[in-house]
Homo-oligomer: A and B are copies of this chain.
Amino acid sequence: MTPLGGLGDVGRNSASFEINGQRLILDCGVLFPDENHPGVDLILPSLHLLGETLDDISCLVLTHGHEDHIGAVPYLLRRRPDIPVLGSRLTLAFLREKLKEHRIRNVDLREMEAGSRTTMGEFDLEFLAVNHSIPDALAVLVRTKAGTVLHTGDFKMDQLPLDGRLTDLRGFARAGEEGVDLFMVDSTNAETPGFTTHEIDIQPAMERVFSHASARLIVACFSSHVHRVQQVMDEAVKAGRKVVYVGRSMVKNMTIAAQLGYLKVPANTLIALDDIDKYAPKDVVIVSTGSQGEPLSALSRIANHEHPIITAGPGDVVLLASSLIPGNENSVSRVINGLTKNGVKVVHKGNALVHVSGHASSGELLYCYNLVKPRNVMPVHGEVRHLHANAELAIATGVPRENAVVVEDGTVVDLHDGKVAVVGRLEADYVFVDGSTVDAVGDAELDERRILGEEGFISAIAVVNLHTGELVEGPIITARGFIDEEGIFDSISAEVAGGLREALADGAEDTYPLQQLMRRRLGRWVSKRYRARPMIVPVVLAT
């Protein structure tokens, strides 16, 4: 078993299980880049660890439809579209839409219901319902000749779920009685004390907002959070407001969810954005993307008065019904500030109970460990701190410390006779998607971007004649992202020219030392004079 991603990060979840020359891939998601990956669009799991051919893959199993679990599937299937993909109905519906966008056809998608069991080569698979912040999520019980693995996927244990679909703790208990050799458990909230609040507990805040809003009302939430949208929908009906979806992914996902029956849309409730002007602001609720302050999202554009259709001002209310993903604090704050400045009242998790997490907190995880009583535990899905916190929970319930293995992406773990052992370590490097390229941009380019983005660059171009020893032209010195005042390079330009002439007179036979000379002189000058370290880009052309 080798984690291909998600152990050390919140994202790019993927794991490979190997037995007798066959592989099962569990989830294949993306990681969203942070400030350490400037310009990168997506980060993929280390699929290169699967080797040159993908012929040994028996199946891909998906636990649920979030991007960090299915977002990288196209990058796997475009190499071998015939891999059977197993998942729940909603998960596969979201995937189907994604594959369409990637123009991947003739795929083999197999719908699995919670409670069902099937065999794929060496793998005997049983699917168990779990609840999460998206409907139709599954845990997976993988029985093999080498032992039994229970993988929770992302989950929580809401005991009053809105759709009545409980996490199948009976199934967990049954698996435990049968014997679970390796329990792989969602670590996202392992540091959070106590229990995750019920989804239904945000109802009062939601009702309050609807009853107090007398003009325009906008609710922003994750575009896959069907239950959250259902809550808004229900309140809208009570309040006599029509519902409008805003944001491409919101429209797409909610349309799918409604078609498949996961979202109940009462008749005459939904209207199209184009028709919004036919209704008074007080008769509509807008359900929007942009709860993380994404600069191009509908909500950010509304906050900046840049949305072509929707405006929000004094008397209007915006409800941010979502968590704050770490790293997004500043952008969310910018949206709140923008809206507040326009006179909009903003209700958010800082001032009301308007969001609950989709992940089990430490209290719930303890229940799980006690119910399953696994032989070995491997925390998954989280940063190192979360994985360790989760391991400590397992140990607190009696799992021996040596059987709670905290490993990172690329670690090869063997399960043999009910014992888990680390047997190797592969380089599980990030794979960057940048524009239309995959793995074409790497750490070297990101290092360059970091310097360019912090300090800009100074370029110096000179044309020389190596035969006559003449400086034909230049140096022409220009800068971008650096102070670019008229004449600031005059003195250093003359100095560099002098240096070049000297070197040429000394019989330089090559452009390389001349470039180095320009780099050195400019670098020293800019560092001394401006305490700055822009990238120096010297080019010497020899005619």
Contacts of A482 in B (CB 8 A): 441, 445
Docked complex Cα distance between A189 and B330 (Å):
16
Instruction: For A21, list chain B residues within 8 Å (CB).
Output: none
Q: Classify chain A: how many residues form its interface, as a range.
A: 35 or more
> Does residue A454 face the partner (Cβ distance < 8 Å to B)?
yes
Flag A322-355 by CB within 8 Å of B: 1 or 0 each.
0000110110010011101100001000110000
- How many copies of this kind of chain does the complex include? 2
Determine whether A402 belongs to the interface, using a CB cutoff of 8 Å to chain B: no
Distance (whole angstroms) from the CB of A187 to the closest CB of chain B: 12
Per the bound structure, the CA–CA distance linking A476 and B463 in Å amounts to 13
Q: A327-B329, A337-B384, A543-B473 are in contact. Are A480 and B452 (CB under 8 A)?
A: yes
Would you call B539 and A461 a contact (CB within 8 A)?
A: yes
Binding site for B on A (CB under 8 A): 8, 34-35, 38-39, 191, 193, 326-327, 329-330, 333, 336-338, 340-341, 346, 350-351, 383-385, 388, 434-437, 440-441, 444-446, 448-450, 452-457, 459, 461, 463, 472-474, 476, 478, 480-485, 529-532, 535, 537, 539, 541, 543
Q: Please give the distance in Å from A540's CB to the nearest CB on chain B.
A: 10
Contact of A452 among B8, B385, B449, B474 (CB under 8 A): B449
Say whether A541 contacts B440, CB under 8 Å. Answer: no
Supply 22 A–B pairs (Cβ within 8 Å), ascending by A: A38-B453, A39-B455, A191-B350, A191-B351, A340-B388, A341-B384, A346-B385, A435-B531, A435-B532, A445-B456, A445-B483, A449-B452, A449-B453, A449-B456, A452-B453, A457-B457, A459-B459, A461-B539, A473-B541, A476-B539, A476-B541, A478-B539
Q: Pick the most buried of A34, A191, A478, A532: most chain B CB atoms within 10 A of its CB.
A: A532
| A89 → chain B closest CB, angstroms | 33
